[in-house]
């Protein structure tokens, strides 16, 4: 068993990790959060203690490089994303040219350096989880 050095007391690593989180339950309702809209892409972010939960919708025809590039000030999205796709399909192209499609029920992890767009005739909605403020200014 691994222990953390905490002065006079020794705790397991699991006990140490648990102490990093707020012990109180927290709740937010994404539908109550005002949308931040850029072209055909919208997002709603609920901030919990140290974790941001963001619902992102790429409307039909939305593309990051068309709708968010100027706002972000970069050619490609430079943020990492960990998300669960709820509806539609999101196509992603990385800097190296590799592509992947993520559809409802898929969990995605995207490293920085990508473009993304909705595919088909349905908007793509996903819920993303991040520590701290991983987004461009609000």
CATH of the domain at 54: 2.60.120.10
Q: What local confidence, expressed as pLDDT, does residue 3 receive?
A: 46
Query: How far is Cα 22 from Cα 9, in angstroms, rounded to an integer?
Result: 21
In a domain, 138, yes or no: no
Q: What local confidence, expressed as pLDDT, does residue 111 receive?
A: 94
In a domain, 96, yes or no: yes
Token look-up 């068993």 returns: 1
Q: In residues, how long is the chain? A: 138
Q: What local confidence, expressed as pLDDT, does residue 24 receive?
A: 87
| Cβ–Cβ under 8 Å, residues 63 and 115 | yes
pLDDT at 135 over 60: no
In a domain, 1, yes or no: no
| Helix, strand, coil tally for the chain in percent (to 5) | 10, 45, 40
Q: What local confidence, expressed as pLDDT, does residue 8 receive?
A: 52
In a domain, 27, yes or no: yes
| Cβ–Cβ under 8 Å, residues 60 and 123 | yes
Q: What local confidence, expressed as pLDDT, does residue 14 receive?
A: 53
pLDDT at 102 over 90: yes
Residue range 115-132: average pLDDT?
Answer: 94
In a domain, 2, yes or no: no
Q: What local confidence, expressed as pLDDT, does residue 131 receive?
A: 80
Residue range 82-105: average pLDDT?
Answer: 98
Residue closest to 124 by CA, chosen among 104, 94, 97: 104
Q: How confident is the model at residue 57 (pLDDT cuts 50, 70, 90)?
A: very high
Query: How far is Cα 8 from Cα 45, in angstroms, rounded to an integer?
Result: 41
In a domain, 74, yes or no: yes
The total of structural domains in the chain comes to 1
By residue range, what is the domain housing residue 56?
A: 22-131
> ∠ CA(72), CA(74), CA(78), 5° rounding?
85
- DSSP annotation string for 103-117: ETT-EEEE-SSEEEE
């Amino acid at each position: 068993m691994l222990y953390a050095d905490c002065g006079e007391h020794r705790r397991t690593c699991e006990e140490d990790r648990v102490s990093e989180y707020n012990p109180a339950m927290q709740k937010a309702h994404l539908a109550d959060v005002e949308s931040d809209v850029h072209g055909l892409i919208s997002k709603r972010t609920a901030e919990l203690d140290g974790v941001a939960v963001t619902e992102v919708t790429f409307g039909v025809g939305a593309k990051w490089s068309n709708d968010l590039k100027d706002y972000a000030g970069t050619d490609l999205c430079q943020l990492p994303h960990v998300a669960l796709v709820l509806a539609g399909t999101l196509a992603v192209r990385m800097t190296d040219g590799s592509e992947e499609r993520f559809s409802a029920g898929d969990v995605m992890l995207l490293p920085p350096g990508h473009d993304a767009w909705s595919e088909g005739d349905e908007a793509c909605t996903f819920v993303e989880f991040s520590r701290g403020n991983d987004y461009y200014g609000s």
